[in-house]
Structure 1
């Protein structure tokens, strides 16, 4: 081999390496997002251990994804909870203290970044079908608001809108679907209405499961049976959305998340920081997930959802978010360092001022009722419900294992052993044997309030 030939061959190798280094990579996988949100749906689902209620589509999603067994909203109220999902901030930080619609008109701070704004800036198509329930629009600038002619319980029509949206472009998308089920509609659950392609699944009052915080009476059982029917309609909507993804070939390109804003619309659950109000379903289906049907025991909360969605989309999170992405722990059944969550409540309706803060570990929960001198307020839909009207008429003054007086007039601190007492019926705050636990949780709760710049801590510090 001559010297010139060897030199030419060397330059050819260099050129080939250079070409290889500048070659265009293959098309990146599309990182679509489908976020499904139930309205007032607690843990009433087959995959969460309820043997009566029929939720085959949620059960399928759990089999194909990760079911979080210890997932918590950080507030048990509709608009505030959704604002946490979209901003990744606790409500005392983002300003969405109560319901967004008139006459309540609570809104998120205009300087707060949100999921649609962050994704819009990265070229995503963003849209919402159904209930959004946060304000103002400039903070939550979804590119499209897709109407459903039959309302937000007409799940078949909502799925048709979703299918059209999925098929319209190959651009990455984020679609939020806000179902109205199983929220109350007046005194009932809109189960007297018929919807196209939706089966009305009825339950016998004698077969429903009555939680211990409610009285076991015919009136309550009938109310719960109607709630179960609304949950089954919600489940059919979830199934329709998954089918729309499959039919458009987008399922294996899409991160699918199902969750709810707060617990069941019954006294003792919704608007409360008891587990019945904040311990909720969370199911995540990721296309790249190797192991399916995982039950994840990490304690997670809704401040973790925005970091999760942004990591999936490849979007850097805003600075100062208190949550963490769930993607690294999806396949880990009990990851280390996920053992505590916090919660914050101020209003629901504008007349319902009752600020509460809470810390929950695997063993204990501490609720700090910051305005405990006030009676605990009622949401209008719960007040008008057959369940509360029945409780009002009862001669024994009880609502399940609590008295009505205990429910309405609460002490400053409520401490529960959530392992021994999962329905939080025995307050241990005054028990000398639990004094060290109480002191530790109070210290940790105040530290969290300081770290998140909780405005409600300032008057407390001035008074004490």
Structure 2
């Protein structure tokens, strides 16, 4: 009997005696890349649904993102939980509301908000499961030990084509990979002309452009002015700059998709496109009105049965971490996250049970304390402005925006459809029927015909705060049940 036959005989005998334990172990230790998808999470900075062809804008040029929508699922009711960059990103990467993790506002400079060091973030959990994790561009979360990625790639975050080019090594990884791709576009930049109040912000655009990027400009006369903004020369000029920045994102996204296809991994890669909060204009970013928190979300999952589809399911950025873990075939412990996986929604045209979301905003900059909590239940939306006796605060760049300054300096009565006084001084409760009033103009909170709705929504809000251990529960009748002892245990 030759040696090869002898080994085979002993292997068969061993399997009969031991129940094939060794072979079973071999099956379990198959290369992870053979069973788990790659995942790209592409996050733009201050990009609303107002500036995407796939969401109905016929002026802006976003062919690559529009193609993603044709190949995947576009969500019509996707929401951030806090319309502020750092706070929103902490939720994206933890599946937990910022008020529960200490991620109350901005991380950088003197703001210095930071996530509790015991939190386990998405990249850390995926690395534990054998994923190669990498990030490029805007980070804006802390501490690094909580939001650790194995690789940090370097490129100009305003040049998304250059960013894409730096990701080749990740796309060719032997392991399944998680790529966190975050642009600085279309965030506002330093003013184009700081000495001229009515000069439009550049939104990162440069006269001489960026290497490898086609400069696409827009005529201010042709842009689409959202209803919440004033239709003025200043507003149109700034929107035109904003569009130009978005078109730069689209080109970089297109280059990344081309590289993914060339790597041979497109058929096993889930691609998710979102933004952290709404467009950087007063009335959107930093507010929990719809333009600030209702955002683009386009997902292409090669294994999904739906293509070129839209979904009306209400999803939230607090759902992203559990969803991505579910996509990566990671067992999720019950109650590990405040959100839940919507992976199965990608296969259902009319999913049931996805008609409610919550939001929680506390700070933007540290000088902008204005906590708000939101419940959206079907067509009703309740905002509680906890610091309602204060004037609504401004982010420094939004205050300087020529769009705002034109109204402020001119002592105008209206900012868009809303009275300026109503924008600056808000009631404690704002209740809207979004089906009848999508612009959130008619506050029903004190209408006796809606008392039953108000009572129901307030109960939902309190239950949400209790469930997520929100310290701001104390603002309801001095309820201190969730307050700490002041002692480190």
Question: TM range, normalised to the smaller chain?
Answer: over 0.9
1:253 to 268, 272, 277: 268
1:341 aligns with 2:333: no
Counterparts in 2 of 1:13-412, with a 5 A limit? 22=23, 25=27, 28-43=34-49, 44-148=51-155, 151-167=156-172, 169-187=173-191, 188=201, 189-193=203-207, 194-317=209-332, 319-412=335-428
Q: CA deviation at 1:91?
A: 0.8
Q: Does the C-alpha gap of structure 1 residues 314 and 463 become closer, same or farther in structure 2, counting only changes over 3 Å?
A: closer
Aligned-partner Cα distance in 2 for 1:75–1:364: 19
Aligned-partner Cα distance in 2 for 1:368–1:406: 15
TM-score (norm: length of structure 2): 0.88
Aligned-partner Cα distance in 2 for 1:20–1:128: 39
Q: CA deviation at 1:199?
A: 1.3
Aligned-partner Cα distance in 1 for 2:378–2:244: 32
Aligned-partner Cα distance in 2 for 1:132–1:251: 25
Q: CA deviation at 1:364?
A: 1.2
> In 1, are the aligned partners of 2:216 and 2:244 still within 8 Å (CA)?
yes
Aligned-partner Cα distance in 2 for 1:39–1:105: 20
1:387 match: secondary structure: helix
> In 2, are the aligned partners of 1:66 and 1:331 still within 8 Å (CA)?
no
2:476 match: secondary structure: helix
Aligned-partner Cα distance in 1 for 2:186–2:204: 9
Q: CA deviation at 1:15?
A: 6.1
1:449 aligns with 2:465: yes
Alpha-carbon deviations, 1:227-259, whole Å to 9, x = none? Answer: 111111111121111112111112112111110
Unaligned runs of 5+ in 2: 1-11, 192-200, 481-489
Unaligned runs of 5+ in 1: 1-10
2:135 match: secondary structure: strand
Counterpart in the other structure of 1:3: none
Alpha-carbon deviations, 1:126-160, whole Å to 9, x = none? Answer: 11000011000010111111111xx2011121111
1:421 to 421, 424, 437: 437
Q: CA deviation at 1:20?
A: 12
1:37 match: secondary structure: strand
TM-score (norm: length of structure 1): 0.93
Alpha-carbon deviations, 1:33-87, whole Å to 9, x = none? Answer: 1110000000021111111111111111111111111100111000010100100
Aligned alpha-carbon RMSD (Å): 2.0
> In 2, are the aligned partners of 1:263 and 1:277 still within 8 Å (CA)?
yes
> In 1, are the aligned partners of 2:306 and 2:346 still within 8 Å (CA)?
no
Q: Does the C-alpha gap of structure 1 residues 19 and 442 become closer, same or farther in structure 2, counting only changes over 3 Å?
A: closer
Q: Does the C-alpha gap of structure 1 residues 463 and 289 become closer, same or farther in structure 2, counting only changes over 3 Å?
A: closer
Residue range with higher mean Cα deviation, 267-276 or 316-325: 316-325
> In 1, are the aligned partners of 2:412 and 2:420 still within 8 Å (CA)?
no
> In 2, are the aligned partners of 1:29 and 1:253 still within 8 Å (CA)?
no
Q: CA deviation at 1:22?
A: 4.0
2:75 match: secondary structure: strand
Aligned-partner Cα distance in 2 for 1:120–1:174: 9
> In 2, are the aligned partners of 1:391 and 1:399 still within 8 Å (CA)?
yes
> In 2, are the aligned partners of 1:257 and 1:283 still within 8 Å (CA)?
yes
Q: CA deviation at 1:395?
A: 3.4
Residue range with higher mean Cα deviation, 438-447 or 311-320: 311-320
> In 1, are the aligned partners of 2:134 and 2:153 still within 8 Å (CA)?
yes
> In 2, are the aligned partners of 1:294 and 1:331 still within 8 Å (CA)?
no
Q: CA deviation at 1:421?
A: 1.2
Number of equivalent positions:
450
